[in-house]
Chain A
Amino acid sequence: MTQYPLAFYRAALCFLVATGFFVAASFSHAHEFSGFVAAETRLFPNGALHAGQKNDSISFVAQHEYYHEFDGGSSFTFVHFYRLDSADRERTHFDIRELTFLWLKEDFELRLGVRKVFWGTTEILHLVDIINQTDFVENVDGEDKLGQPMANISFARDWGTFDLYWLPYFRERTFVGKGGRLRDSKVVDTDSTQYESRAEEWHGDWAFRYAHSFDDWDVGVAQFIGTSRDPTLIDEDDDIKIPRYEQIRQTSIDVSFVAEEWLWKGEALYRRGQGEDYFAWTGGFEYTFTRVWNSQIDLGVIGEWMYDTREEEDATTAFENDLAGGIRLALNDSASTEALFGWVQDLSSPARLLFLEVSRRFGDRLLLTAELRTFSHQPAADFLYAQRNDEVMQIELAYYY
């Protein structure tokens, strides 16, 4: 039997107490409680390449949410998240996803506390989304984010929406630990993190964004000044890498345009301060066929191109020149069965990434999600070469309350 560290049991205890408390409290009607608990398993049919890695894992997840709205529309939100993982000590973690007070006034909204903000339009790569750090131990798709402390004031006017952000504290990216799959051959040592700024994680970052809808166009322009969310990984010795967070200035634009069944999307950024100045963009389309085969089924076709002007060795991304295709099926049945199949093809090598995500509801409260990811034909120089054996099947059953 595997011996878990004390921290594991401590986390387990916190997890159970918090779950019990919040499930009990959810029967109260005065304030709103919601959330989910889930069990997840990951199976890796191919043998591990790196020392310490396991071929399967079991995880328990819980996310609890408390929400209270005051008269006049101001509100308080508290969302906390726990994961307990059998294979990876780094994946066992806790995070405050949101702890926000939203002050709603006639002319503006002021949002204070820990929050999550999303910018962008594309499906495969979220290029310009920068406010929150990626919770990378959660999933390789990068869609899970850590809560970001901030003060954000937002003005919604006829001429558009203007948001100003002050981000007083930086969250480090989470990285898969020694026991986990889907990682580089070297483990990232987050205890030796380096910063360009002497203020380290207390460097105050700033961002602003202007967004507006013009008929069929939605456009967002943003500027970010502060600590890069993508670290540069430095080889320390044979076993470990050290993340280094530079000070950057990033200008970005994201656009979507709707024309009948076509949705055209694009995101582009220019970043200074992290290696050589560079430009990156992603864009493409989503076309939806409604009620195919004379049924209720909707079928969407996605095509996107990702491009990054950096040389492969400098890149902090796997997508430096890649083409992605996807098919999204929505059965529109009472169980809301959905499937997304994707193919990401490197244009400068045979490397490719395939994925399939399927979800289906059972009853009113259970949601079953299955994901399949494969990596194939990665040449030795590829960003994901170390993960070439990490074909994974992931199944999660979540109970919502």
Chain B
Amino acid sequence: MKRMIYILSIAMFFNASPSAAETPEEKGLAIAKEDDRRDNGFKNFTADMVMILKNRQGEESSRHIRNKTLEVEGDGDKSLSIFDRPRDVKGTSLLNFTHKVGADDQWLYLPALKRVKRISSANKSGSFMGSTFAYEDVTSQEVEKYTYKWIRDEEHKGEKCFVFERYPVYENSGYTRQVVWLDQQDYKILQIEFYDRKNALLKTLTQSGFKQYLDKYWYPAAMYMENHQTGKSTLLTWSDYKFQTGLSDKNFNKNSLKRAR
């Protein structure tokens, strides 16, 4: 009898646990939500970014960009990107309000004309600064932007990972699906494979050099995006992360866009 109760209670335990009845889609979504929860609460940060663009022939060129990001509760982040190099575009800045649902709001500041220009953000699949990154790869990632499906668990580069697929909700996305390797301990995205509209492998993103900030948030120092179809690649390195620097909404309006240096 005692043994019977034991078996029953084990069965009940498993039934009570949501994972037992979880579909791969529910599990994928749960992973994405947990990842988002762990990423929340950073408030704001600034960081410097260098992109090294390499073409098929191995010729290199670089872009230097400074970034300011503000977390917005209940919506996507606000960000301000200031281009330092190449020198002919120095002072060009991009103000971006991401939204959980629908298109982002984007304004570009052209310093030679002192002009703030609203730009169409439908252009999410377009190249970011001539690199192998698309706008949709570098703007803030929100749970609502994809649907999910867990595929398997596997070891990747010595770390136990969830492998799941995500499917862009946005119809003009350049991708049909992305396969994500997320480490189970710290929820660091180690690798993403991007499949184009024809479902052929387009790009692979590899992230490395993770460091923990504010004892909580894991950010990569290097993001390497290789385009398998064109032979081009981009190495994006981050440095000088500063968190909770006192940025507020006031640092993300058109006046601050014009002032940005």
Could you say which of B116, B121, B125, B126 has the most chain A C-beta atoms within 10 Å of its C-beta?
B126
CB-nearest residue of chain A relative to B234? A334
Interface size in chain A (residues, C-beta < 8 A): 49
| Other-chain contact of B261, A69, A258, A398 (Cβ < 8 Å) | A69
B123 CB within 8 Å of chain A: yes
Known contacts A261-B123, A298-B123: A336-B130 contact under CB 8 Å: yes
Known contacts A263-B120, A334-B53: A75-B130 contact under CB 8 Å: no
Known contacts A118-B114, A156-B250, A156-B254: A109-B130 contact under CB 8 Å: no
| Other-chain contact of A336, B86, B121, B230 (Cβ < 8 Å) | B86
Interface pair B118/A258, CB less than 8 Å apart? yes
Known contacts A117-B114, A156-B255, A332-B126: A400-B62 contact under CB 8 Å: no
CB-nearest residue of chain B relative to A117? B114
**Cα–Cα, bound, A335→B157 (Å):** 35
Known contacts A69-B261, A288-B123, A298-B123: A256-B90 contact under CB 8 Å: no
Nearest CB of B to A227, in Å: 21
**Cα–Cα, bound, A309→B53 (Å):** 51
Known contacts A34-B90, A291-B174: A364-B120 contact under CB 8 Å: no
Interface pair A361/B259, CB less than 8 Å apart? no
CB-nearest residue of chain B relative to A73? B259
Chain A 192-228, CB within 8 Å of chain B: the 1/0 string?
A: 0000000000000000000101011010000000000
Nearest CB of A to B145, in Å: 17
Q: Which residues on A sit within 8 Å (CB–CB) of B113?
A: 118, 143
CB-nearest residue of chain A relative to B97? A213
A333 CB within 8 Å of chain B: yes
Q: How many A-B residue pairs have CB under 8 A?
A: 107
A234-279 residues with Cβ-Cβ distance < 8 A to B are 256, 258, 260-263
A78 CB within 8 Å of chain B: no
Nearest CB of B to A64, in Å: 13
A116 CB within 8 Å of chain B: yes
A102 CB within 8 Å of chain B: yes
Given contacts A291-B125, A296-B230, A364-B85, 12 further A-B contacts (CB under 8 A): A109-B255, A216-B105, A260-B172, A288-B122, A288-B123, A290-B122, A290-B125, A290-B172, A336-B130, A365-B86, A365-B87, A400-B90
15 chain-A/chain-B pairs, Cβ below 8 angstroms: A69-B261, A75-B259, A102-B259, A118-B114, A120-B115, A121-B118, A156-B253, A156-B255, A161-B255, A213-B254, A218-B118, A256-B118, A258-B121, A296-B130, A361-B88
Residues of B within 8 A of A (CB): 53, 55, 59, 61-62, 85-90, 103, 105, 107, 113-123, 125-127, 130, 172, 174, 230, 250, 253-256, 259, 261
